[in-house]
Each structure stands twice: as structure tokens, then as C-alpha cells.
Amino acid sequence: MHLRHPLAVLVLALMAGNAAAQSGSPATTGALPTQANRIVGLWSALGLVGPCGAPPTSPINAIVAFHAGGTLSTSDTLPATGGIPNLHGIAGFNTRGPGYGRWSYDPVTQRYGVVFRFNWFVNGFYHGYQQVEREVTLSADGQELSGPINAARYFANGDKYMDFCGEEVSDRI
């Protein structure tokens, strides 16, 4: 009868150790060892996006940092000089600024909700912003994020320009 309690303690300790190993040590990362914090870290994102209803053709190549506590920051890795010529009919060279947003975890679906926005510049002048909403799944080994992209681009005056759809896969750096 006394073996039940030590066995239960051992099983709980092993489970806690596994969660801590997956999310990093709070002493070195600041992230508590919870299931939600498995996303915390730096990611390299690759994907394609385009106007909804058409095949995605515009590349996504970004670095995303998921911070403990539910915030994120992202930086496009396309060249800042020159940018993207004629992006979806907007003449001139398009460049995007850094993105900032938030993430959350749903323990029922085991998926992460991600919302962020970044500014667009055309020929060096502010042109508007893009709001991105995603639901992503973390792989079992915690090294890959994947899921669809839903985004809307807005002009500087707040009018919607277009909705965008696509897919993205991110690898932990």
C-alpha cells in the first residue's frame, strides 16, 4: 500500500521534468514550464501568401520571436533596400516593417492563436499596415509550427485593400 504514493510522486516528477525540458529552464529562459510556453523561442518562418481565392505567390521569409507571457515580434528577412516590386498591383517597391502582436494557447485543441500586425512602406513612405491572424499547430517534438495564414492589408487611411491567404511553416532556431 505504501508503494502507491512513491510511484505517483515519481510519475508526476517525470511528467514535470518532461514539460520543463520541452519549454526550457525558467532559470535561463524566464518561461514557466507549462504546455503553453512550448512555443516560446525564436523561429524561422517560410511560406507563401496571395490574394484569397488565387494561388499564393508572394514569399514569406521572416524571423519570429514568441515571448513568454503571450507577446511576439517578427522581422521580415527580405532585403530592406529594393523591397518587393509591384506587390499585388501596388506600384513601387514595397517593404514591410517589423511586426508586433500576441499569442495564446488553447489546451483543448492544443493549438496556438497568433495575431500581429506590421507596417507597409512603398518607395520609402508609409502606405498602411497588414493584420495577420493565424491558428498554428506545434509538432510533437516542439521544433516546427505550421498552419494557414489569414491576413488583411489596409491603406494608410484605414480602408481595406485586400484579404490574403496562404500557408506557413516555421522551424525553431
Helix (H) or strand (E) holding 116: strand 111-122
- Residues 55-74: pLDDT tens digits? 988 888 899 999 999 999 99
What phi and psi values does residue 21 have, to the nearest 5 degrees?
Answer: -65, -35
Is the CB of residue 49 less than 8 Å from the CB of residue 151?
yes
DSSP 28-91: HH---S-SGGGG-EEEEEEEEEEETTS---EEEEEEEEEETTTEEEEEE-S-TTT-EEEETTEE
Instruction: Round to whole Å and give the CA distance between 131 and 148.
Output: 14
- Residues 16-60: pLDDT tens digits? 343 333 445 666 666 677 888 899 999 999 999 999 999 988 888
pTM: 0.76
Higher pLDDT, 107 or 79: 107
As its CATH architecture, domain 38-172 has Beta Barrel (2.40)
**For 167, how many CA atoms within 13 A lie in the half-sphere containing its CB?**
5
Percent of the chain predicted with pLDDT > 90: 57
pLDDT at position 84: 55
Average pLDDT over residues 113-123: 91
